[in-house]
């Protein structure tokens, strides 16, 4: 899952349990929809990206730089995760919101497409609840 700073899910995906998490980085970033704005041109991408040490590689950093994203990824063996840990709750909270839906806590579906559909519904409901709270 990829979310913004307020915890609103921007993109969700399902992968196999035997795949490394870093393989999902590029499809998730490509899946971010264009941001509508009242004034000025539409923003097509976020400005910054914070990620775990698992996403650190020269290939990912170069790809993110080409797309104009400022990546803040801790380097394994050099930086501690403590500094990024301050910002980690911003993604942990929406993940907890998604798994608050009973159907997603235990994976009942055998097909990944069904689980992805329920995950998309949960993300949409989470966005709706978050935005409805902001509107009132």
Number of structural domains found in the chain: 1
pLDDT for 88-124, tens place per residue? 667 778 888 888 887 676 667 778 788 888 888 888 8
The pLDDT of residue 81 = 56
pLDDT for 27-85, tens place per residue? 888 888 776 667 777 666 677 888 877 888 889 899 989 988 888 887 777 766 566 55
Contacts of 64 (CB under 8 A, 6+ apart): 29, 49, 71
Contacts of 91 (CB under 8 A, 6+ apart): 1, 3, 7
Contacts 24+ apart (CB under 8 A), 14-18: 14/112, 14/115, 14/116, 14/119, 16/112
The C-alpha angle with vertex 1 and arms to 54 and 106, in degrees rounded to 5, equals 100
Contact status, residue 45 vs residue 11, Cβ threshold 8 Å: no
The pLDDT of residue 53 = 79
The pLDDT of residue 62 = 92
The pLDDT of residue 24 = 85
DSSP E strand stretches across the chain:
2-3, 9-11, 48-51, 70-73
- pLDDT-based confidence at residue 22 (cuts at 50, 70, 90): confident
| pTM for this model (two decimals) | 0.70
Strand partners, 3: 9
What domain range includes position 123?
A: 2-135
CB atoms within 10 A of CB 60: 18
Q: What is the CATH number of the domain that holds 99?
A: 3.30.420
Distance CA 80, CA 10 (A): 27
């Amino acid at each position: 899952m990829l979310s913004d700073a307020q915890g609103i899910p921007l993109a969700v995906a399902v992968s196999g349990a035997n795949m490394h998490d870093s393989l999902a980085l590029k499809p998730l970033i490509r899946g971010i929809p264009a941001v509508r704005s009242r004034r000025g041109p539409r923003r097509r991408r976020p400005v910054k990206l914070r990620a775990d040490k698992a996403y650190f590689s020269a290939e990912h950093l170069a790809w993110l730089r080409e797309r104009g994203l400022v990546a803040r990824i801790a380097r394994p063996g050099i930086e501690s995760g403590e500094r990024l840990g301050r910002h980690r709750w911003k993604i942990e909270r929406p993940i907890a919101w998604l798994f608050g839906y009973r159907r997603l806590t235990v994976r009942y579906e055998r097909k990944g497409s069904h689980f992805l559909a329920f995950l998309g519904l949960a993300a949409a409901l989470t966005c709706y609840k978050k935005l409805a709270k902001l509107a009132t």
